[in-house]
Amino acid sequence: MVPELSVVIPMYNEQEVLPLLVERLRPLLDGMGVRYEVVAVDDGSSDLTAALLQRYHREWPALRVVRLRANAGHQAAISAGLVSALGDYVVTLDADLQDPPEVIPQMLAAAKDDGVDVVYGVRNDRSTDTWFKRASAQAFYRLITVMSQTKAHADAGDFRLMSRATVDAINSLPEHNRVLRFIVPALGFPSDTVEYKRDERAAGTSKYPLIKMIRLSLDSLTGFSTAPLRMATFAGLGGAVIAVLLFLYTLIARSQGHTVAGWTSTVAIVSAFGAVQLVCVGILGEYIGRMYAHMQGRPTYFIAYDSLTAGHGDHGPT
């Protein structure tokens, strides 16, 4: 029978937090009085996550396990979970208990009472995030809302509830390197928000080093806006104007006979233009890289094991 609620949880090396998560999530979901399933997506963990999940799956059949063959990243792991989830409503939740599971019943109630398709979890207090994380997130959200037309909520992460229609729409997207927190609002389904306080990670350490954060930011920007390409054009046009002015200046200087000196300005101009060119080539490269990945059409993840079918060898959308 189709569950009413699916809870998709991506996890990468979460052996420390997993027992705490199960201990807190199970009584909560059991108490909700709905038919549910938990889809634990093991994102190619190399610690005891896989073994622990097998054990919990035996004790708690509503907990299903989908294991990816290699670490595909947070967003890909969620995508794999969304494909596997069967519920009428699907909640995505971090494994580290930063998103309090107690908010799930509120989300479900909001979706049903107001008849909306999406309920975003919005953090009303980010004091547990580091100063750097808050500042960089704020600057980034401002940048992306200016550059693209997306209306993503600045304090919404990946803790949200989605209807079957929304999940089907996401699953049908062929896009690679998708960033769901921007894709879901762009789909335009009616939505609501539920506020929550973001807690401290309950155990273990963050699986989001700076490099993964930067990658996520670049994927969000290139996935939602071509403004950087236009900025490259404008930088080139601006450079051309400056070049014309400088050329006129050198002609005048020459006609008046002061043609020596000028080493400093030459070096400054050459390096400034060199830098602008490299940045523009880099921007082009980001888009070409996305196109390349898309054209190759390789799946973004491979499923090594699925407890539902106990099958092997399935793969994600191409």
Question: Which residues of this chain interact with Mg ion, rule CB under 5 A?
Answer: 96, 98, 201
Among 12, 141, 182, 301, binds ligand UDP (CB under 6 A): 12
Does 95 help bind ligand UDP (rule: CB under 6 A)?
yes
The piece of 7-15, 54-62, 116-124, 309-317 that touches ligand UDP (CB under 6 A) is: 7-15
In the complex, the smallest distance separating the C-beta of residue 97 from Mg ion, rounded to whole angstroms, is 8
Does 219 help bind ligand UDP (rule: CB under 6 A)?
no
Between 15 and 171, CB nearer to ligand UDP? 15
User: Per CB under 6 A, which of residues 225..264 are in contact with ligand UDP?
Assistant: none
CB of 84 within 8 A of CB of 308? yes
User: Per CB under 6 A, which of residues 43..62 are in contact with ligand UDP?
Assistant: 43
CB of 120 within 8 A of CB of 158? no
The piece of 31-39, 92-100, 135-143, 160-168 that touches ligand UDP (CB under 6 A) is: 92-100
The piece of 111-119, 140-148, 203-211, 282-290 that touches ligand UDP (CB under 6 A) is: 203-211
Does 224 help bind ligand UDP (rule: CB under 6 A)?
no
How far the first Cα of the chain sits from its last, in Å, is 29
The letter for the amino acid at 292 is: Y
In the complex, the smallest distance separating the C-beta of residue 64 from ligand UDP, rounded to whole angstroms, is 16
Query: 143-146 long-range CB contacts below 8 Å, 24 or more apart?
Result: 143/221, 144/182, 144/220, 144/221, 144/224, 144/225
Alpha-carbon Rg for the chain in angstroms = 24
In the complex, the smallest distance separating the C-beta of residue 135 from ligand UDP, rounded to whole angstroms, is 14
**What SS3 class is residue 94?**
coil
CB of 63 within 8 A of CB of 38? yes
Return d(Cα 34, Cα 199) in angstroms, integer: 26
CA distances from 140 to 6, 78, 89, 134, 143 (A): 31, 22, 30, 10, 5
In the complex, the smallest distance separating the C-beta of residue 72 from ligand UDP, rounded to whole angstroms, is 7
**By C-alpha distance, which of 9, 4, 7, 5 is closest to 41?**
9
Token pair belonging to 167: 């999940």
In the complex, the smallest distance separating the C-beta of residue 50 from ligand UDP, rounded to whole angstroms, is 13
Q: Of these partners, ligand UDP, Mg ion, none, which one is at the site of residue 171 (CB under 5 to 8 Å by kind)? A: none
Footprint on this chain of ligand UDP (rule: CB under 6 A): 10-12, 14, 43, 71, 73-74, 77, 94-96, 98, 201, 206-208
